[in-house]
Structure 1
Amino acid sequence: MSQCDVLNLEWCAEGRDRDSASLISFALRKKGYVVEEESLLDWRYAIYKHRPKVIFNNNPIGGIEAVWIIRQLAKWGIPVVSFIAEGNFIPVISESFLWGHNIYKVIYHKYHCLWSERTRGMALDVDPRWKDKLLVSGAVRFDSYSIFRFLTRGEFLKKYNKENYKKVIGFAGFCFDFLDRPEPRRVATEINGEEKMKEFEKDRTKLNQMLKKMVMDNPSILFVMKEHPGTVLRDKSELSGLGQYPNVVSIQNEEQIGDCINVCDIWTAYESTTCIEAWNLGKPTFMISPYASKILRSNVKTGSPIFESNESIQNAINLFYEKGAVPGFDERKERRREVVRETIEWDDGKNHMRAAYIVEKALEGNMKKRRVKLSFFDAIRAFVQTFIFNFSPYFYFLPKFRSRVRLKKIFNKLVLNEVHEKYRPFLEEFHKNHPFTEEDKRELDEINGFSKSVESQEKEREKCHE
């Protein structure tokens, strides 16, 4: 049994949330802290094994089980620092972005970190009680575009045996399957109303038709259709049926989003912050929306032209390959700069260092405290939980084990170690050339109020809990 300073709990060994966690873990290790990484589903045994002083997690409101786990950790007195995965709030549904599946509407974490000052302000408009817990870290996942090398087009085409294509266009999925999943549909309906759900259904059907026509009308162009990582029912997606076409590569979690964008000439979406990622890689973007004026959209829409018909889409594609520009894109250059600042706060690649600095702040207040001790009953539950998690593939015929098979598969320690080894040289070089300066710390302290005395922060916390 080992003891660590920081324990990271995530669902996956690779992917969007995992990448952010790996960057934060690297920055903490560079500071000399002992960091362990385990599956969120094996949380009891992870705590029993490592006895952490602080825990951090990405996307703590993305599922009911995650919310319950964080709540339990708070009861045990273990400080948790969380980082939001989908952090670009839309004003009229800010409450949904803040709480997600958190039905208790209580922030159990020591710190819950948002992408920008703008989104922190929107969250505080929803519930001002949590001003000492809601912090700004910047959007960690966007650091990748300043740090890593991505797949080249040649590598990608060879991998998928599509080397005969010279033109590539990508599309980012929206996760429309929430319309057919009872719990997500219920939550979305409470926030948006049934009429809005009908509009989404209408958009999904029409969008699927438009995408199919775009693919069929351009047989010489390869289309990379990137399914949203949160999509569960792929046959209920707007990308359903597109994989059958020879000029389509259909991807969900097989490739990183940065690799998908990097191989494309143009990146497109219905509604996605991946457009900002495309801008970071110098790719032009446009949005496809059958009924653009009716659906609620984030600020990202203002940085790209929006096309509502196949005629306008085809015109944009033709003009790009003839003249090298998407109509309406260059005119929005200044607005895109504003959107980047409003959405991710900093685009210097240092957001994972800022996140690590916030975790370090949580550690400072907990270094002298005794590590959590589990009762005999909790220890037994930890061993039962880890047995079910680790042996689920062998007892698939039992319901309790069957529900854990997929989650065991996606958290593979060997894969996680491979990811770390792949990222290490890029991170070492970046940290050497772009250190986290005292000025960076002062700016973050000022934004998050760390310059206040510890006494005044404690008094504010007490008021929040009254």
Structure 2
Amino acid sequence: MKELNSTRYKGLCFLQEDIGRDVEIAIPIVFAAEHFLNCEVIFELKWNAHLITKHKPDFVIIPANCIGSLIYHKIAKYADELNIKIYSFISEGNFNTNINHNFFGFNNERHFYQDFVQCWSKRTLEYMSEKAPDQKDKYVLTGAAGFDRYVMYDFAQKVDFLAKYNKEKFEKVILYSGWAFGKVQYELGRVEISQDPDKREAKVNWVNEQRVIVRDMLKHAIESNPDTLFILKQHPAEYYPGLNVKQLNEMSELADYDNVLYVTGHVENIHDLISVSDILLGFETTSAIETWLMSSQPTIFLNSEVDFDRVDIYQGCCIAGNPEQLNNYIQEFYNTGKIVDFETDDLKAKRNEIIVNSIGFGDGYNHIRNLFYFNETLHRIDRKKIKYTRNKEFFRLYLFFKIMKPFYKIGLVNKLPWFSKFNWVFKRYKLEHVPELQAKYNPFIERFYKEQNLTKDTLLEFWKSQDLKTK
């Protein structure tokens, strides 16, 4: 095990959004890198990868394991060509290992450009080692860093949240965390639903059928409980920014009910919505694990059929197979303060098992486990080998958005059909929310370190206790 890095290094962290999942994962890791490892990290929009030639970083941080978007993959490849070290984290690491899962995503070369590929759990690490053994020396067990915030942070209070939306008359609040049913509306989404062309039509038809079933279950619950506020949260990856398609999913047709708050995009973080709710509903969602880490509130999946390809999170939840069963669970909770089916010893034990199998650890230290490999990556930097040459594709993208920015400011972009799809890029161009989130979250992380007595000395001791090592 190497000592903590002491050399002053500068890095770039590329993001698609300035709020949401990836930035939530990045902030604790970046804070720890700056706090313990003498680093400075600058955030940039992923479309501005050309700025590598301006900032001249020693390393780059890329979300989604360099595979979650084609641009991320290209940035990783570009950085590798420049001999810049790459550190990446996984955004969706709890995948089903009982089927043939494509964990390379957009990486058609099937080659990881980073030194370490973080796995959320031992289960997924073993799966990747079996399916792509040629790179198994890169696979490391870190846990899911994005889930640490449920242990470290303070979240929204119900009274404040309800006042924000003028919903103070409601005392009962139920959250539904959406599934990406809306992807069936566009071609790329249908490909993501099923990468097998021969099975795609059948899978899309099944998804459409399930969408209607879940919608009708939600509708029945909403109409049967007019004194309860239902927060319906759209899945963050359901639609791509700039996609000009009317949103149709399992909840969009229910948005106009008086006791419904339909939350789209990244307007609210899922952790705040969980915090203000009494019950979590879902079709299939890792928000159930987040709920278990934060509180003891019941989690209920709306599944007319249970046996389909998915991870085992549902085994720790109550299952409502029809509208009447869902409403019975709701009534039981508000009449007695609990749902008996959710409180069984078997289900409690299963939830603990699922946390280990899904996110590795639920102790708030996953970003610290990640930091071990970040430190190892820093020790492998060789500044003499780094070259900051221009990439033609990224340079053209950079010029395009620079040239179009004045037209965006005067509102012309919105009036041009072809250019309007880039409107979202200009809105996020400066990643304005990132420093706001850092100012909000960093004190929580620092408080956690103090409570845990996590210093440079005890950090090394923790790493040793975890038997973290490179292969």
* TM-score where L is the length of structure 2: 0.88
1:73 correspondence with 2:85: no
Query: Once the 2 structures are TM-superposed, how far is the Cα of residue 164 of structure 1 from its aligned partner?
Result: 0.5
Residues 137-188 of structure 1, C-alpha deviation per residue, up to 9 Å, x if partnerless? 2111111111111000001110010001111110110111222221231243
1:268 correspondence with 2:281: yes
Name the residue aligned to 1:286.
300
**Whole-angstrom distance in 1 between the partners of 2:23 and 2:223:** 35
CA shift in 2, pair 1:24/1:182, >3 Å: same
- The residue matched to 1:13 in structure 2 has which SS? coil
Match of 2:204 among 197, 200, 216: 197
Letter in 2 for 1:424: N
Mean alpha-carbon deviation: is it higher for 71-80 or for 188-197?
A: 188-197
Name the residue aligned to 1:350.
365
**Whole-angstrom distance in 1 between the partners of 2:88 and 2:418:** 28
- The residue matched to 2:12 in structure 1 has which SS? strand
Letter in 2 for 1:393: Y
Name the residue aligned to 2:222.
215
- The residue matched to 1:432 in structure 2 has which SS? helix
Count of residue pairs brought into register by the alignment: 444
Conservation of the 8 A alpha-carbon contact between 2:191 and 2:200: no
Please list every run of 5 or more consecutive structure 2 residues that lacks an aligned counterpart in the other structure: 1-7, 240-244
Residues 282-332 of structure 1, C-alpha deviation per residue, up to 9 Å, x if partnerless? 121110012223x22211111112111011101111111111222421120
1:420 correspondence with 2:446: no
Residues 377-410 of structure 1, C-alpha deviation per residue, up to 9 Å, x if partnerless? 6896475256257556246266775443202313
Conservation of the 8 A alpha-carbon contact between 1:90 and 1:297: yes
- The residue matched to 2:361 in structure 1 has which SS? coil
Name the residue aligned to 1:114.
119
- The residue matched to 2:175 in structure 1 has which SS? strand
1:224 correspondence with 2:231: yes
Mean alpha-carbon deviation: is it higher for 165-174 or for 349-358?
A: 349-358
Match of 2:250 among 235, 238, 241: 238
**Whole-angstrom distance in 2 between the partners of 1:420 and 1:376:** 31
Name the residue aligned to 1:166.
171
Name the residue aligned to 2:3.
none
Consecutive aligned runs of 4 or more in structure 1 exceeding 6 Å deviation: 376-379
**Whole-angstrom distance in 1 between the partners of 2:370 and 2:153:** 18
Summarize the alignment of residues 281-430 of structure 1 with structure 2, pairs less than 5 Å apart.
Answer: 281-282=294-295, 283-293=297-307, 295-331=308-344, 332-375=347-390, 381=396, 384=399, 387-388=402-403, 390-391=405-406, 393-394=408-409, 396=413, 402-430=420-448
Query: Once the 2 structures are TM-superposed, how far is the Cα of residue 373 of structure 1 from its aligned partner?
Result: 1.9
Mean alpha-carbon deviation: is it higher for 230-239 or for 299-308?
A: 230-239
1:248 correspondence with 2:263: no
**Whole-angstrom distance in 1 between the partners of 2:81 and 2:434:** 29
Name the residue aligned to 1:16.
21
CA shift in 2, pair 1:350/1:217, >3 Å: same
Residues 114-158 of structure 1, C-alpha deviation per residue, up to 9 Å, x if partnerless? 211211112222211221222222111111111111000001110
Query: Once the 2 structures are TM-superposed, how far is the Cα of residue 105 of structure 1 from its aligned partner?
Result: 2.5
Mean alpha-carbon deviation: is it higher for 380-389 or for 125-134?
A: 380-389
CA shift in 2, pair 1:432/1:207, >3 Å: same
CA shift in 2, pair 1:376/1:297, >3 Å: closer
**Whole-angstrom distance in 2 between the partners of 1:393 and 1:445:** 52
Name the residue aligned to 2:94.
88
Match of 1:257 among 270, 277, 280: 270
Query: Once the 2 structures are TM-superposed, how far is the Cα of residue 423 of structure 1 from its aligned partner?
Result: 1.3
Name the residue aligned to 1:464.
none
CA shift in 2, pair 1:234/1:255, >3 Å: farther
**Whole-angstrom distance in 1 between the partners of 2:13 and 2:109:** 23
Conservation of the 8 A alpha-carbon contact between 1:21 and 1:57: no
Name the residue aligned to 1:62.
68
Name the residue aligned to 1:458.
none
Sequence identity percentage: 29
1:33 correspondence with 2:33: no
**Whole-angstrom distance in 2 between the partners of 1:211 and 1:170:** 11
CA shift in 2, pair 1:313/1:110, >3 Å: same
**Whole-angstrom distance in 2 between the partners of 1:132 and 1:196:** 35
Query: Once the 2 structures are TM-superposed, how far is the Cα of residue 21 of structure 1 from its aligned partner?
Result: 0.8
Mean alpha-carbon deviation: is it higher for 107-116 or for 325-334?
A: 107-116
**Whole-angstrom distance in 2 between the partners of 1:391 and 1:127:** 47
Query: Once the 2 structures are TM-superposed, how far is the Cα of residue 11 of structure 1 from its aligned partner?
Result: 0.7
Conservation of the 8 A alpha-carbon contact between 2:48 and 2:394: no
Query: Once the 2 structures are TM-superposed, how far is the Cα of residue 338 of structure 1 from its aligned partner?
Result: 0.6
* TM-score where L is the length of structure 1: 0.89
Conservation of the 8 A alpha-carbon contact between 2:44 and 2:430: no
Conservation of the 8 A alpha-carbon contact between 1:284 and 1:329: yes
Residues 247-295 of structure 1, C-alpha deviation per residue, up to 9 Å, x if partnerless? 01111311111100011111111000100011112121110012223x2
Mean alpha-carbon deviation: is it higher for 145-154 or for 398-407?
A: 398-407
Mean alpha-carbon deviation: is it higher for 262-271 or for 357-366?
A: 357-366
Please list every run of 5 or more consecutive structure 1 residues that lacks an aligned counterpart in the other structure: 453-466
- The residue matched to 1:131 in structure 2 has which SS? helix
**Whole-angstrom distance in 2 between the partners of 1:212 and 1:313:** 11
Conservation of the 8 A alpha-carbon contact between 1:392 and 1:408: no
CA shift in 2, pair 1:202/1:113, >3 Å: same
**Whole-angstrom distance in 1 between the partners of 2:127 and 2:200:** 21
Conservation of the 8 A alpha-carbon contact between 1:11 and 1:411: no
Name the residue aligned to 1:455.
none
- The residue matched to 1:183 in structure 2 has which SS? helix
**Whole-angstrom distance in 2 between the partners of 1:285 and 1:273:** 11
CA shift in 2, pair 1:131/1:364, >3 Å: same
**Whole-angstrom distance in 1 between the partners of 2:91 and 2:184:** 21
